[in-house]
Amino acid sequence: MPTYLLTIAYHGTTFHGWQQQDGFRTVQQELTAAFARIGCPGVHVEGAGRTDAGVHAIGQCAHVVLERPFAPDRLLLALNSNLADDVAVQAVRLAPDGFHARFHAAGKRYGYRVVTAPVRPAIGRDLYHWVRRPVDLGAMRAAAQCLRGHHDFASFASNPGYARKRGTTRTLHHVHLLARPGGWLFVVQGSGFLYNMVRNLVGSLLEVGYGNRRPAWLGEVLAARDRRAAGPTAPPHGLFLLRVLYAKDLSPAGEEPGVTPAAGADGELPQDPATIE
């Protein structure tokens, strides 16, 4: 039975997250229903990770195992013809037998959008986090330097049970704060992320940007390994899953999912981070 890798985009505002839940509309549920409409009932759509309610995706990935083969371009067309306007399959690729969207991932890239303005914007409020206070982007960049590398990110994990099960040590390969017209974009790429980790990082960076904390404080928070030491959790609607990283041949990432980067993983950021969208 063939395995397919799907790349998916969705507007998270209209979904109660990725994972199927009784009584709620979710992305996984919509994709499962679309497969049923094209003659593939009961298919399990396994995502590379779970996004929460309100979180958006440009490059979420998932895999499916089907009982009959489809040409990837035909499967792409068939699925999108049976999906609502707020979710779309961007690409379909035939994957090797045994491929797993989550276990074979070498890492992920997230972006968090912030608009800074004294007056509340009237348009697009569900696609960014609005803050009325000006921020010191230079101070935030100085603070963020301590985040790169292999660290225990327990201070930025919102779910202690999840942290105990899988540990809280992760590797961040790229951390960028990019100026944008009317605001800024936080882009982070790493081997894996804890529950609410990106949103907790943004909330803490904002404390520095507001001048409430000095840049060195973020390093102290990291060393504390205590969620109570960090800043508040930023809201979900500014967060985008930009990309899931895999080896070019879709081989496994390593013994522990999402921790050891796969050889030849196609996920390096541009030399000039200002080119990242």
Catalytic residue among 52, 126, 136, 152: 52
Q: Which two tokens stand for residue 69?
A: 């083969």
> For position 274, what pLDDT does the model report?
37
Which domains does the chain possess?
A: 3-95 (3.30.70.580), 110-241 (3.30.70.660)
Known catalytic residue at 52: yes
pLDDT at 161: 57
**What pLDDT is recorded for position 253?**
77
Q: How confident is residue 254, by pLDDT bands cut at 50, 70 and 90?
A: low
Residue 227 and residue 221 in contact, taking contact as beta carbons nearer than 8 Å: no
Q: Does residue 196 sit in helix, strand or coil?
A: coil
DSSP letter at 155 equals G
pLDDT digits 0-9 by tens, 112-132: 999 999 999 999 999 999 999
Q: Taking all residues of the chain, what is their mean pLDDT, rounded to a whole number? A: 90
**pLDDT the model gives residue 9:** 98
Identify the bridge partners of residue 110 per DSSP, sorted by sequence position: 188, 241
Residue 10, beta-bridge partner list? 57, 87
Answer whether residue 87 shows pLDDT above 80: yes
Q: What is the pLDDT of residue 165?
A: 62
Compute the average pLDDT of residues 84-98.
Answer: 97
pLDDT digits (tens, 9 = 90+) for 138-176: 999 999 999 999 999 999 998 755 545 678 999 999 999
Distance of alpha carbon 109 from alpha carbon 245, whole angstroms:
8
